[in-house]
């Protein structure tokens, strides 16, 4: 369902290819729809090309990698190949949470590298919020970056118990009051008014952005410093030293695969991730009175602690954008535009909007969209680079890639340039997760996760008691 959009103007006269691409790209998210200017793709690969570094994918991972490489070594010839346009994928569609915290499981990394390494990784994510602020300011990327922290709100006893457990675990791991705390009633009232909030946890380590403006601004910044971006150019084979496309081949000393969930569409990579859809809705802009009733501090991101939790932001132009998981994928084509909208998820998000932000209850929902997350079997991100072949990759952020992709880009830069840094010894470097079970097991696992968690949430909302049925899918969930 394509809902009315802000900037989409149906062309007069016969539709050209550019017109239909423009409509298709804008329909992918509120953020892409809201971009000023045209979304006409940059020119495609003109034929065979040789370069130093070829990056496949112009999302955050690919763009940050290209950006830091070129900034550090201006003479390097860096080429980015993108199947659609920069920011077409989840980088241009996400919740806009630049949120710190390990993109994966603390316990998995602590087991492989020790608790001190996991704590160091966590602290690196805190610094990265400020690194993204630094670059957006330096490059003049106007993406609505506001660092006001993040709040998790519990509206039931089981949710409050999970928040308490989160806090106790964080304390055991070495995180202090300055990283995570329970706000008192006055501070909570100063952050937001959520009816029936039983308990909340606040962390200052999060910023809000308009993700498409960040991705597109980053692509422009890359070009300004000399990176070449070819759009509407699909990599058909991403190999060592060479990327084969329909238009020609790119030979490079270093090839970086930055295709996150779409990696599963490449030959031999089908089972690397579970492509799990996350979907969002956005309201029309709210008036000043509604904002004053919600008391929602600008830039603060908000979530709950349901099992299929929601995540929300107050947008730069005064809307509420709220998302959640729960959309099933189809066995034949796990990644498809048909999976980006789902009536059940939309209705659930609308109910959450009304219950948590009553001042927005009457606001029209103008946009509904979504995209695929890349979930590895152990839910842990990885950055990899093979020195002998010059082949690198990063991804598997399990829905936390806005910030993690910046770390990945800086890390890949150091790995490609052979720089010894603190980044290249972080626990996700060289991490490898086993593959998902073969189909139809992966499909059944994803259906079970969504079905069981959704029914557990309904049970907890109804009874205010902890649902025990989640044990059925624990083997497939993220270890804490």
Q: Which residues bind ligand FAD (CB under 6 A)?
A: 56-62, 81-84, 88-91, 93-97, 99, 234-235, 258-262, 278, 280, 311, 323, 370-371, 373, 395, 397, 399-403, 405
CA distance linking residue 233 with residue 79, whole number of Å: 12
Of 158 and 323, which has the nearer Cβ to ligand FAD?
323
Of 316 and 467, which has the nearer Cβ to ligand FAD?
316
Query: Which phi-psi region, left, alpha or beta, contains residue 282 (left: φ > 0; alpha: ψ -120 to 50)?
Result: beta
Of 349 and 467, which has the nearer Cβ to ligand FAD?
349
Secondary-structure breakdown of the chain: helix, strand, coil percentages, each rounded to the nearest 5 = 40, 20, 40
Of 25 and 476, which has the nearer Cβ to ligand FAD?
25
Instruction: Give 313's Cβ-side CA count (13 Å radius).
Output: 25
Q: How far is the CB of 12 from ligand FAD (least distance, A)?
A: 29
Of 65 and 294, which has the nearer Cβ to ligand FAD?
65
Q: How far is the CB of 369 from ligand FAD (least distance, A)?
A: 7
Q: How far is the CB of 472 from ligand FAD (least distance, A)?
A: 26
Cis peptide before 71 (omega within 30 of 0): no
CA distance linking residue 146 with residue 415, whole number of Å: 31
Of 260 and 457, which has the nearer Cβ to ligand FAD?
260
Q: How far is the CB of 378 from ligand FAD (least distance, A)?
A: 16
Of 24 and 198, which has the nearer Cβ to ligand FAD?
24
Q: How far is the CB of 52 from ligand FAD (least distance, A)?
A: 19
Q: Which residues contact 474 (CB under 8 A, 6 or more apart)?
A: none
Q: How far is the CB of 406 from ligand FAD (least distance, A)?
A: 10
**To 5 degrees, how large is the angle CA 278–CA 157–CA 360?**
50
Q: How far is the CB of 2 from ligand FAD (least distance, A)?
A: 17
Q: How far is the CB of 266 from ligand FAD (least distance, A)?
A: 6
The alpha carbon of residue 190 and the mean position of all alpha carbons in its chain are separated, in whole angstroms, by 28
CA distance linking residue 334 with residue 313, whole number of Å: 27
Q: How far is the CB of 94 from ligand FAD (least distance, A)?
A: 3
Tokens read off for 196: 């029936």
CA distance linking residue 124 with residue 131, whole number of Å: 10
The alpha carbon of residue 75 and the mean position of all alpha carbons in its chain are separated, in whole angstroms, by 31
Of 97 and 109, which has the nearer Cβ to ligand FAD?
97
- Residue 466 three-state SS: coil
- According to DSSP, the β-strands at 301-304 and 228-230 are unpaired
CA distance linking residue 356 with residue 145, whole number of Å: 24
Of 382 and 467, which has the nearer Cβ to ligand FAD?
382
CA distance linking residue 47 with residue 33, whole number of Å: 31
CA distance linking residue 369 with residue 94, whole number of Å: 9
């Amino acid at each position: 369902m394509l809902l009315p959009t802000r900037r989409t103007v149906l062309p007069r006269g016969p539709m050209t290819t550019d017109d239909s691409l423009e409509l298709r790209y804008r329909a992918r998210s509120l953020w892409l729809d809201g971009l000023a200017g045209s979304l006409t793709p940059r020119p495609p690969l003109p034929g065979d090309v040789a370069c130093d570094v070829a990056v496949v994918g112009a999302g955050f991972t690919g763009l940050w990698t290209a950006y830091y490489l070129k900034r550090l070594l201006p003479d390097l010839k860096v080429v980015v190949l993108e199947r659609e346009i920069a920011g077409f994928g989840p980088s241009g569609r996400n919740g806009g949470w630049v949120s710190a915290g390990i993109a994966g499981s603390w316990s998995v990394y602590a087991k492989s590298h020790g608790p001190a390494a996991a704590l160091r990784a966590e602290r690196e994510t805190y610094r990265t919020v400020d690194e993204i602020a630094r670059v957006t300011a330096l490059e003049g990327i106007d993406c609505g970056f506001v660092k006001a922290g993040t709040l998790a709100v519990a509206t039931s006893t089981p949710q409050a118990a999970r928040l308490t457990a989160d806090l106790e675990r964080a304390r055991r791991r070495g995180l202090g009051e300055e990283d995570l705390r329970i706000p008192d009633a006055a501070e909570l009232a100063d952050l937001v008014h959520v009816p029936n909030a039983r308990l909340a946890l606040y962390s200052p380590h999060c910023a809000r952005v308009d993700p498409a403006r960040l991705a597109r601004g980053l692509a422009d910044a890359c070009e300004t410093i000399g990176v070449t971006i070819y759009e509407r150019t699909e990599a058909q084979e991403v190999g060592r030293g060479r990327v084969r496309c329909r238009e020609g081949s790119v030979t490079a000393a270093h090839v970086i695969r930055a295709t996150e969930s779409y990696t599963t569409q490449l030959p031999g990579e089908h089972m690397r991730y579970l492509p799990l859809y996350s979907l969002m809705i956005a309201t029309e802009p709210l008036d000043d009175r509604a904002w004053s009733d919600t008391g929602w501090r600008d830039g603060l991101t908000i979530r709950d602690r349901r099992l299929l939790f929601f995540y929300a932001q107050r947008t730069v132009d005064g809307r509420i954008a709220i998302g959640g998981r729960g959309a099933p994928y189809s066995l034949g084509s796990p990644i498809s535009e048909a999976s980006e909208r789902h009536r059940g998820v939309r209705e659930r998000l609308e109910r959450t909007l009304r219950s948590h932000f009553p001042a927005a209850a009457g606001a029209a929902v103008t946009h509904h969209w979504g995209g695929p997350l890349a979930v590895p079997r152990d839910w842990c991100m990885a950055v990899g680079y093979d020195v002998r072949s010059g082949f690198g990759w990063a991804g598997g952020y399990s829905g936390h890639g806005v910030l993690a992709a910046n770390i990945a880009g800086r890390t890949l830069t150091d790995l490609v340039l052979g720089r010894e840094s603190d980044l290249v010894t972080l626990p996700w470097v060289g991490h490898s997760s086993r593959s998902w079970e073969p189909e139809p097991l992966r499909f059944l696992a994803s259906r079970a996760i969504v079905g069981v968690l959704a029914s557990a949430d309904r049970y907890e909302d109804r009874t205010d008691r902890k649902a025990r049925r989640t044990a059925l899918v624990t083997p497939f969930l993220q270890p804490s």
